[in-house]
Amino acid sequence: MPKSLTIDPAEARRPAIIRAPEIPVNAYVSDPAAEAACYSRAALVDVYRDMLLIREFETALDNFKKQGAYRGIAYNHAGPAHLSIGQEAAAVGQCLALDTGDFILGSHRSHGEILAKGLAAIRQLEETQLLEIMERYNGGAALRVVESLDDFADSRSLAQAWLIYGTYAEIFARETGFNRGMGGSMHTFFPPFGIMPNNAIVGGSADIALGMALFKRINRKPGIVIANIGDSSIASGPVWEALNFAAMDQYHTLWDAELGGAPPILFNFMNNFYGMGGQPQGETAGFGMLARVGLAVNADAMRSERVDGYNPLAVADATRRKKALLLAGQGPALLDVVTYRYSGHSPSDASSYRGRDEIEMWRAHDSIRGFGDYLCANGHADSAALEGMKTCTVELIVRIVRAAVDLDLSPRLDASGDAIGGMMFSNERADALDERAPETLQAKEDSRLKITSGKHRFGMDEAGAPRPKLQTVTYAEAIFEAMLHRFYEDPTMIAFGEENRDWGGAFGAYRGLTEALPYHRLFNTPISEAAIVGVAVGYALAGGRAVPELMYCDFMGRAGDEIFNQMAKWQAMSANALRMPLVLRVSVGMKYGAQHSQDWSSIVAHIPGLKVYFPATPYDAKGMLNLALRGTDPVVFFESQRLYNQPETLFAVGVPTDYYEIDEGEPQLHRRGSDITLITIGATLYRALEAAERLDAEHGLSAEVIDARFLNPLNYAPLVDSAKKTGKVLLASDATERGSFLHTMASNISQLAFDYLDGPVAVLGSRNWITPPAELDESFFPSADGMIDMIHRRLLPLPGYQPRSDQSAASISQRAQAGV
Amino acid sequence: MAEAIIMPKLGNTVESAIILCWHVAVGDAVSAGDLLFEIETDKATLEIESTADGVLLAQLCAEGEEVPVLSNIAVVGRAGESVADFAPSRQSFPAINEASTASSGAGRAAPVDSASAETVRISPRARNLAQRKGIDYQAVTGSGPGGRIIERDIEAALRRGAAKVTPVAQAMLDSGDYELAADHPRGRRVSKADLLPVADESAEKSTPLAGMRKTIARRMRDSLQSTAQLTLNASADARALQTFRRRLKASEAALGLNVISINDLLLFAVSRTLPGFPALNALFENEIIYPQAAIHLALAVDTDRGLMAPVIRHAESLTLRQLSAEARRLAEACRAGTIQPDELKGGSFTVSNLGALGIESFTPILNPPQVGILGVGAINLKPVQQDGDVAFIPHIGLSLTINHQVVDGAPAARFLQQLSANLAQIDLLVAT
């Protein structure tokens, strides 16, 4: 809470009534003369043609799914097909108002939107641009196929065929598809036309679209961003979080006015009245009309409107008006676009939730037939011309679909090798993602760096005595220095999270950044973990570097989809067309009980597509964050609250003032030994070092201590070498034992060093309990005692030793049987 | 009391054997030592004798059946005794469809720990160590968790001298360069013949050739492929060498002669001998022989980065002290990495000395286009018949490799002969 905004009790307690704006419902009135003046005749005819094309495109898929053939072309499509037959006017109408610089993001039912946006872009781009895009994208693979089909009259008709082919090929999982088949039906997209990722998670596009809109606002890029999501998605938490996040007051009260206000985002609900079968209006929601939701969000009611999505010109009109508002910084906006799908949710849909007569009633309102009648009635076309268009459309689709199902013309990716593995990470390094000068409020040397750089860099003096912590650079300050460095290098870098500004983050790692950075580069978010990560995903996909923060690791659950499905997946799902320069800082708690003290690094290490770092010393904290902040991959960066106020005590160089990076995936040896190897993740390192001291002093054993530092990627070679040397390995971390990443490490080390082992690799995690109160820490977290006990019971009985805890092999099965 | 005859364990790696044929029928009388049946392992066919006296009560396995070692094969006892207790129980898991969940307490059989009875529990690391050191770990008591034999138990056994190993084999094992063959029968005395060289682990790691090593690899291969190499071995009386070297070493430091080595004397002798053998001081390239007037002596130098051969120019015109100084300078420059490329070119003949490493003779590989390379070995005593008696006289090994394409054996032999003569009176040669 910034000091510049005062909460006045007199104001807060004053009686008043909230008055809300009115929400227009289907207010558009068709005026054929005005419409003829607004759009050319050709443009109006194109609307009809585009709708026809979308319907035929979807019909072919419907036929393949249900009958195994379309117009004599047999094909078994194994993947999903969530069709939008009936929703064509909503898609095509929207794109009448958009330019290529405007982005749309969609849902699992977005084939129509993709085609509409693509067809619009093809009309808007120069022919040379089109040719270059087709030539460059995926090495021109799709272009080669399409060129072989026909002599197209011009570049635009070639590009149209190419768009349809690229989409089909993607849906059919072909290497010639827009994303080499890695996206498929529910994730097809094509950034050069402003078609950004569609999302198979309901509502998944809401916060990602907002992140892209923030990118446009913060980096002064043209255009608006539209989240095309379904009416049922309004009930999901991340969508609500995105609505609120998009409507924050600070864009107007605190951010530089010159930036232009709120992020330009339109939440466009394609309201077909059903989820899969559940029906928000009348059944699963209470808002009656979805447009009403805008009233809950801000004083402008999000400029919400219900629009007749069966009239493409009504949709175009509304979209155009919202776009103007958004560009003027007066967003966010909400449209409740009334539409209807004749097709089922998917081919298995028996329409048990709606009557046949309802579908027939909507067919009677069919938008394509209705718009055809409109064209004829106003002299833009005659029925023969419309019939001709239908014939041409079918011919085009038949020709293209034949090529798209042909395995010779359109092969699948050879996934037997490591082709998909090669897409999981981009592994690039980028000092800055844009060339302009970074916006800051003070010179770097005048920032808090002046203070931290003047401190001792190593925690012990020449005599080996500890230095005062306040006079020595700490783990938190090492984080600060890495952040500051990249803020002054990369103008696109932004950081945000709860209490990030003013407070400097709950643990003070960002202390000093508030003074150094303008609001739009460091800001406080609502308590919306899903949107915090989702917005960062969108910001990164749009081309900026984002550093969101989760105050406690335990809050990752609130951002589960965004971390597991969004942050982790888009690089590979785009076949590397997109980058994800996103570092999610996650703080692992302590002493705060069961919901604030968990180490969940194992959970993210399980998810393909994430890099997982966990530094345990200030030197590593700065060097590893430097590494993460120069990469182009999603990194979950764990920090331990046990360490924030700790100075460097292990690396004799201390924390270098200058820039440096740690080699990715390389474990760090902290103590050399010959009898036993202790490998740790996170702050457990210090307890392992204590155990090593005691093994030496009390038992005459020489223990080697290694900090893994990285969970993924991880170079096992030094771990295996050590295991081969000592033959006895104990792994320890604060994560609870069951399913811990340590078991993956133990399994790998066992396989790589089996013949050298003197006993099974032992794993010491926290107990499979709730984290008890701080006073009972010792019973829960791994301790030096626990490590020595486990060594005694599992690896090397120590003569005369009396263990304090039960670490016997028998306890493994007893605890497993009890489920604890 | 009936007794089982078991399938013996016939080596570490033998897990099972096939019954080839029975020699005794059920009901026949047998005595311990009688041939009972024949078996075949993956390595051999063996005859198995009865270990008990009595009547063969049962054949528990049929001919052709594969039987795990240590399983019961037959029962010998008094006629009429029951054999029910000896039925082979090789199935360690319940049949797949047998319900194992209906645990009505008593009905649930206690799992049989088949390992505890016969198998010794030992870690892979301890087993490997025992194997390498020839320890019979069956007899070792484990101190690990649950009585597992771990590394320290084998080490303790080693200290106790538990292995039955001959002194020579023990010394070889202690060197770390040898280990016991994996199939050595446990408990049998270990002799030299049972040992194998330790597989070099570093051989498993691969290092792509780069830089100098790549050059050396190419040149060595080219040398052997493009020339006809013949090596002649001889040895020269080294008494004068040793005496003269002692005098030089004892000389006043100011003279700068006390650093002159045996190898320097060798180089000097070569530089003074070669001019008389122009066929050896020549280059051969593209079917053309280029005799060399000057003696540009290349000197093989061992460095961290590999073999280098810097060139002492006009060795024939250098004094012994100059030659020694130049050889030292070049060798040091090679080791320090400061050698200039030009100093590595243009040799007309090469000398390679492995004597300091105790090598007596070897086959030096030519450095084309040179046609001769002299390998120098160690100085060893050689029995020489002298005045009807045998005297042991120090000799230095000389191995000359020539390109037999252009140098014949006889002139090469004569060169060695002359060089040996010069070495035998090196002090006089220096004086000339």
- Statement: residue B188 has pLDDT above 80: no
What is the band of B237 on the pLDDT scale with cuts at 50, 70, 90?
Answer: very high
What is the band of A226 on the pLDDT scale with cuts at 50, 70, 90?
Answer: very high
Please tell me the distance from the alpha carbon of residue A316 to that of residue A334, in angstroms, as a whole number.
14
- Specify the CATH number for the domain of residue A731: 3.40.50.920
Instruction: State the nearest Cα–Cα gap between B154 and chain A, in angstroms.
Output: 11
What chain B residue is nearest to A724 in terms of C-alpha separation?
A: B125
Any CB–CB contact under 8 A between B111 and chain A? no
Which residue from B123, B128, B144 is facing A797, i.e. has the nearest CB? B144
Any CB–CB contact under 8 A between A793 and chain B? yes
Span A405-416, average pLDDT: 94
What is the band of A561 on the pLDDT scale with cuts at 50, 70, 90?
Answer: very high
What chain B residue is nearest to A808 in terms of C-alpha separation?
A: B145
Please tell me the distance from the alpha carbon of residue A83 to that of residue B365, in angstroms, as a whole number.
77
What chain B residue is nearest to A760 in terms of C-alpha separation?
A: B123
Any CB–CB contact under 8 A between A795 and chain B? yes
Note the pLDDT tens digit of each residue in A659-673.
999 999 999 999 999
Mean of pLDDT over chain A:
96
Cβ pair B145:A797 closer than 8 A: yes
Instruction: State the nearest Cα–Cα gap between B306 and chain A, in angstroms.
Output: 27
Q: Are strands B297-299 and B349-353 parallel, antiparallel or unpaired?
A: parallel
Q: Is residue A139 part of a domain?
A: no
Instruction: State the nearest Cα–Cα gap between A691 and chain B, in angstroms.
Output: 20
Any CB–CB contact under 8 A between B130 and chain A? no
Any CB–CB contact under 8 A between B396 and chain A? no
A491 and A613, same domain (yes or no) = yes
- Statement: residue A678 has pLDDT above 90: yes
Cβ pair B145:A795 closer than 8 A: yes
Q: Which pTM value belongs to this model?
A: 0.73
Any CB–CB contact under 8 A between A759 and chain B? yes
Note the pLDDT tens digit of each residue in B101-132.
444 444 444 444 444 445 789 999 999 999 88
Q: How far is CA A744 from CA A178, A604, A606, A664, A739, in A?
A: 35, 13, 10, 19, 9
Q: Residue B187: what pLDDT?
A: 60
Specify the number of domains making up chain A. 2
Note the pLDDT tens digit of each residue in A87-120.
999 999 999 999 999 999 999 999 999 999 999 9
Instruction: State the nearest Cα–Cα gap between A793 and chain B, in angstroms.
Output: 6
Mutate to test the interface with A, among B103, B151, B198 (most CBs of A within 10 A): B151
Lowest mean pLDDT segment, chosen from A418-432, A755-769, B9-23: B9-23
A541 and A623, same domain (yes or no) = yes
Question: In the listed set A590, A622, A640, which residue is the last one of a domain according to the structure?
Answer: A640
Contacts of B158 (CB under 8 A, 6+ apart): B133, B135
Cβ pair B125:A757 closer than 8 A: yes
Domain of A497, in residue numbers:
444-640
Span A445-455, average pLDDT: 96
Which residue from B124, B143, B145 is facing A756, i.e. has the nearest CB? B124
A801 and A698, same domain (yes or no) = yes
Note the pLDDT tens digit of each residue in B238-281.
999 999 999 999 888 888 888 999 999 999 999 999 999 999 99
Higher pLDDT, B173 or B347: B347
Note the pLDDT tens digit of each residue in B360-417.
889 999 999 999 999 999 999 999 888 888 889 999 999 999 999 999 999 999 999 9
A501 and A585, same domain (yes or no) = yes
Any CB–CB contact under 8 A between A636 and chain B? no
Residues A516, A447: contact at Cβ < 8 Å? yes
What residues of B are in contact with residue A796 (Cβ under 8 Å)? Answer: 144, 150, 152
Cβ pair A759:B144 closer than 8 A: yes
Of A246, A258, A253, A262, give the one whose Cα is nearest residue A327. Answer: A262
Any CB–CB contact under 8 A between B136 and chain A? no
What chain B residue is nearest to A794 in terms of C-alpha separation?
A: B145
Question: Which residue(s) pair with B283 in the sheet?
Answer: B290, B370
What residues of A are in contact with residue B124 (Cβ under 8 Å)? Answer: 754-758
Which residue from B124, B143, B146 is facing A757, i.e. has the nearest CB? B124
What residues of B are in contact with residue A675 (Cβ under 8 Å)? Answer: none
Note the pLDDT tens digit of each residue in B4-62.
888 877 665 567 788 888 888 888 888 888 888 888 776 667 778 888 888 888 888 88
For chain A, how many residues are written?
820
Q: Residue B19: what pLDDT?
A: 85
Q: Residue B211: what pLDDT?
A: 67
Instruction: State the nearest Cα–Cα gap between B128 and chain A, in angstroms.
Output: 7
What chain A residue is nearest to B125 in terms of C-alpha separation?
A: A756
A471 and A564, same domain (yes or no) = yes
A493 and A635, same domain (yes or no) = yes
Q: How far is CA A455 from CA A471, A473, A474, in A?
A: 5, 6, 10
Span A448-475, average pLDDT: 95
Question: In the listed set A598, A621, A640, which residue is the last one of a domain according to the structure?
Answer: A640
What residues of A are in contact with residue B179 (Cβ under 8 Å)? Answer: none
Q: Is residue A42 part of a domain?
A: no
Instruction: State the nearest Cα–Cα gap between B342 and chain A, in angstroms.
Output: 40
Any CB–CB contact under 8 A between B182 and chain A? no
What residues of B are in contact with residue A754 (Cβ under 8 Å)? Answer: 124
A578 and A504, same domain (yes or no) = yes
Span A424-450, average pLDDT: 97
Q: Is residue A215 part of a domain?
A: no
Q: Is residue A707 part of a domain?
A: yes
Q: Residue B209: what pLDDT?
A: 65
Span A683-698, average pLDDT: 98
Note the pLDDT tens digit of each residue in B192-214.
777 787 766 554 556 666 667 77
A483 and A570, same domain (yes or no) = yes
- Statement: residue B95 has pLDDT above 70: no
Note the pLDDT tens digit of each residue in A382-402.
999 999 999 999 999 999 999
A692 and A735, same domain (yes or no) = yes
Cβ pair B128:A756 closer than 8 A: yes
Note the pLDDT tens digit of each residue in A300-314.
999 999 999 999 999
What is the band of A327 on the pLDDT scale with cuts at 50, 70, 90?
Answer: very high
What residues of B are in contact with residue A793 (Cβ under 8 Å)? Answer: 145
- Statement: residue A85 has pLDDT above 60: yes
What chain B residue is nearest to A725 in terms of C-alpha separation?
A: B125
Q: Residue A14: what pLDDT?
A: 97
Note the pLDDT tens digit of each residue in A725-740.
999 999 999 999 999 9
Q: Is residue A636 part of a domain?
A: yes
Q: Is residue A95 part of a domain?
A: no
- What domains can you pick out in chain B, each with its CATH number? 3-86 (2.40.50.100), 120-201 (no CATH), 211-431 (3.30.559.10)
What chain B residue is nearest to A799 in terms of C-alpha separation?
A: B143
A632 and A672, same domain (yes or no) = no
- Statement: residue B186 has pLDDT above 70: no
Q: Is residue A112 part of a domain?
A: no
Instruction: State the nearest Cα–Cα gap between B82 and chain A, in angstroms.
Output: 40
A673 and A762, same domain (yes or no) = yes
Question: In the listed set A589, A620, A640, which residue is the last one of a domain according to the structure?
Answer: A640
Lowest mean pLDDT segment, chosen from A256-270, A617-631, B82-96, B146-160: B82-96
- Give chain A's count of helices (H) and strands (E): 29, 20
- Specify the CATH number for the domain of residue A559: 3.40.50.970
Instruction: State the nearest Cα–Cα gap between B147 and chain A, in angstroms.
Output: 10
Any CB–CB contact under 8 A between A32 and chain B? no
Interchain CB contacts (distance < 8 Å): A and B:
38
Q: Residue B163: what pLDDT?
A: 64
Span A1-8, average pLDDT: 85
A623 and A706, same domain (yes or no) = no
Query: What is the set of active-site residues of A?
Result: 596
Q: Residue B27: what pLDDT?
A: 87
What residues of A are in contact with residue B152 (Cβ under 8 Å)? Answer: 796
Q: Residue A589: what pLDDT?
A: 94
Mutate to test the interface with A, among B122, B123, B149 (most CBs of A within 10 A): B123
Which residue from A759, A793, A808 is facing B123, i.e. has the nearest CB? A759
- As a whole-number percent, the residues of chain A with pLDDT over 70 amount to 100
ipTM over 0.90: no
What residues of B are in contact with residue A808 (Cβ under 8 Å)? Answer: 145
Any CB–CB contact under 8 A between B176 and chain A? no
- Statement: residue B144 has pLDDT above 60: yes
Note the pLDDT tens digit of each residue in A507-520.
999 999 999 999 99
What residues of A are in contact with residue B125 (Cβ under 8 Å)? Answer: 727, 755-758
Q: Is residue A267 part of a domain?
A: no
Any CB–CB contact under 8 A between A796 and chain B? yes
